[in-house]
Amino acid sequence: MRMTEESQSESRPFEADVARLLQLMVHSVYSEKSVFLRELIANAADACERLRYEAIAAPALLSDDPKPRITLLLDVDKRQLTVEDNGIGMSREEMVEALGTIARSGTKAFLDRLEMGKNDEDTALIGRFGVGFYSAFMVAERVEVMSRRAGTEVAHLWSSDGKGTFAVSAVAVADAPRRGTRVVLHLLEDAKSYTERSTVERLVQAQSGHVPVPIAIVDKPGAQASEITDGAALWAKPKAAITAADYNDFYRSIAGQFDEPSLTIHFHAEGRQDYTTLMFVPGTRPFDLFDPDRKGRIKLYVKRVFITDDADILPRYLRFVRGLVDSADLPLNVSREKIQESPLLVAIKKGATSRVLGEFERLADKEPETYAKIWELFGVVLKEGIYEDFERRDALLGLARFKTTAADSWRSLKDYAAALKPNQSAIYYLAGDDIERLKLSPHLEGFRARGVAVLLLSDPVDTFWVMSAGSFDGKPLKSVTQGAADLALIPLVDAREAPEPELQDSVKKFLVFVQNTLGDAVAQVRASDRLTDSAVCLVAPDQGPDRALEKLLAGAGRLNSASKPILEVNPRHQLVVALAALGEDERALKEDAAHLLLDEARVLEGDRPADARAFSERLARVLGKCAGRGASENRGS
């Protein structure tokens, strides 16, 4: 670092993640380099919006220049493109923080994805983690940022070639904007087309046509500025005057994505509260969807003045929705912190949430294929609301879609309830971490034999919401890995497969033998009516968590002691019947078999034997006895 009191010039290295990002940018990770212009214009618009907000409390900040604007200056001879705004500007400290570090969470995952070469959605990546400014280095060999914060008499210059360091120095106020920020791009040779008016104007119209700040262009030094967008707020226009292309352009501007929205929600609420909402459901998953803080991305405006993008307008389980709310009633002369406590904002939050869920219900009813795509992308997040939002639990259960053992297509709980089998009194589900493994679970055998569909739940959130949901349409949700299956009253699909009414006495005695042999390793050993093909399975007791939730809690260190499982044995399985027929002289073999049956049940769940060495020794003894018996029979023949 170099610094002198006379020049106040300082050279600093970029934060590690920024250096990684710049390396990727310089080497052209993105195929669509023109994204940089949209990002710089979006930053300029944000600066103008923030000035409007601060000027509410301090009107002097606007001085004699109250109208916000963004100006693009082109210089073909110098191969320069300049993006200038008269917004809030930056102090020296803000420059270092904003242009030298990345604070948004999820950046590491973003960078890892790029470095692995997964850039099939490359144009949609920039902007999702607040890194849009650095896209300028895809087209520039050097970037200079000169800024003067509103209300101050000092200005500073930030500059970098994107190769590891940046410099910050004080500059003469006469050389700086009167207020705001000027970004000068010294373009690469292959990027000089960005000094051509036709190219720049086309990009602005396509990418930033609905930014709520007027944009003007100066096509050569000394020329007059001409306005190319009027900065009219799209959300304030009548819906009939807005085209699908207009909505898409605005969505890309406000959401920081290049896909097309799956759903657009635009409405004006009047009555007790007067506000306008324009929201979008993305067509692809944002990369910050699973950030631990689960923050939403809805901007709050009051009378078209930007207030904050941290107002939590929608609940966390709707954090994938992008857009804004503009209120005509909220006060402008209060802090951002205080406005969060406003009863008016509480009412707006409730109304906006209800409207979004109402649109989902309409889409699910009228356009089920479109809704299925939304559920495919965001269902895992929506299900968080089932256990977080008690007030809307029924509505969210109605919106939920599931894969089942009956079909690979998505089904609603309403569809499931309409297809219940005679004497079926519950909605059955099986939770785990892999849907293909779930399909192979022995717990499903008795249900398949009776044509009873089972919900296959493979998302981590599933093990939580099913515990809090309780029931749907009067039918309880019941795990097939917990308690008794209660399948005896449901008729088999093929009556010829009906089991014998009574168990053999030898099998009954064998089950008691297994119970005594396993001792405290299991809570109980009992005959199963849920197994048809497999010999054994493990189930959880009637009370407490089911097997999937217990494993999840134990893995997270949130379970002090796991409950003892119940070992269910298929009393008609060929192996079980054969073991039950062994005499007292084969007691040691039966003891080994009892432990191996328990380990088999664990393996079928995707677990390991409790004691790998003991498992191996028992298996070797059993195989040895079988091999010896087979050799003896061969000699006898």
Please give the pLDDT value at position 104.
Answer: 46
Q: What is the CATH number of domain 10-229?
A: 3.30.565.10
Q: Give phi and psi for 455, each to the nearest 5.
A: -70, 135
Q: How many CB atoms lie within 10 A of CB 316?
A: 15
Please tell me the distance from the alpha carbon of residue 110 to that of residue 129, in angstroms, as a whole number.
Answer: 8
Whether residue 601 contacts residue 525, with contact meaning beta carbons closer than 8 Å, is answered with no
Please tell me the distance from the alpha carbon of residue 116 to that of residue 474, in angstroms, as a whole number.
Answer: 49
pTM over the 0.85 mark: no
Helix (H, G, I), strand (E, B) or coil at 561: coil
Q: What is the CATH number of domain 235-373?
A: 3.30.230.80
Helix (H, G, I), strand (E, B) or coil at 229: strand
Give residue-wise pLDDT tens across range 94-105: 998 888 765 443
Please tell me the distance from the alpha carbon of residue 394 to that of residue 317, in angstroms, as a whole number.
Answer: 15
Q: Give the residue from 467, 441, 485, 605 showing the smallest Cα distance to 544.
A: 467
Task: Give the start-to-end residue ranges of the domains of the chain.
Answer: 10-229, 235-373
The answer to whether domain 10-229 and domain 235-373 are alike in fold is no
Give residue-wise pLDDT tens across range 523-537: 999 999 889 999 999
106 Rama sector, left if φ>0, alpha if ψ -120 to 50, beta otherwise? left
Alpha-helical regions (H) of 179-243? 197-208
Give residue-wise pLDDT tens across range 570-579: 999 999 999 9
Please tell me the distance from the alpha carbon of residue 256 to that of residue 46, in angstroms, as a whole number.
Answer: 13
Classify the C-alpha dihedral 528-529-530-535 as positive or negative.
positive
Please tell me the distance from the alpha carbon of residue 87 to that of residue 208, in angstroms, as a whole number.
Answer: 17
Please give the pLDDT value at position 469.
Answer: 84
Give residue-wise pLDDT tens across range 160-219: 998 888 999 999 988 899 999 999 999 999 999 999 999 999 998 877 877 889 999 999
**Grouped pLDDT means (10 residues each) for the chain, 637 residues:** 50 74 60 80 90 91 92 97 96 87 50 52 39 82 96 94 89 91 96 96 83 93 92 89 90 84 95 92 90 85 80 93 92 68 90 97 96 96 94 96 92 95 94 90 93 94 87 92 85 70 85 95 92 93 76 67 86 93 91 95 89 94 80 56
Which residues lie across from 327 on neighbouring strands?
A: 275, 302
Which residues lie across from 428 on neighbouring strands?
A: 478
Enter the DSSP assignment of 15.
Answer: P
Whether residue 150 contacts residue 89, with contact meaning beta carbons closer than 8 Å, is answered with yes
Please tell me the distance from the alpha carbon of residue 519 to that of residue 511, in angstroms, as a whole number.
Answer: 12
How big is the chain, counted in residues? 637
Please give the pLDDT value at position 5.
Answer: 39
Please give the pLDDT value at position 131.
Answer: 53
Edge-to-edge strand list for the sheet holding 155-160: 10-13, 165-171, 155-160, 140-148, 180-187, 80-85, 70-75, 215-218, 226-229
SS (HEC) of 501-532: CCCCHHHHHHHHHHHHHHHHHCCEEEECCCCC
Portion of the chain with pLDDT greater than 90, in percent: 56
Please give the pLDDT value at position 295.
Answer: 85
Please give the pLDDT value at position 278.
Answer: 96
Query: H or E segment at 145?
Result: strand 140-148
Please give the pLDDT value at position 129.
Answer: 35
Spell out where 417-523 has E strands.
427-431, 455-457, 471-472, 475-479
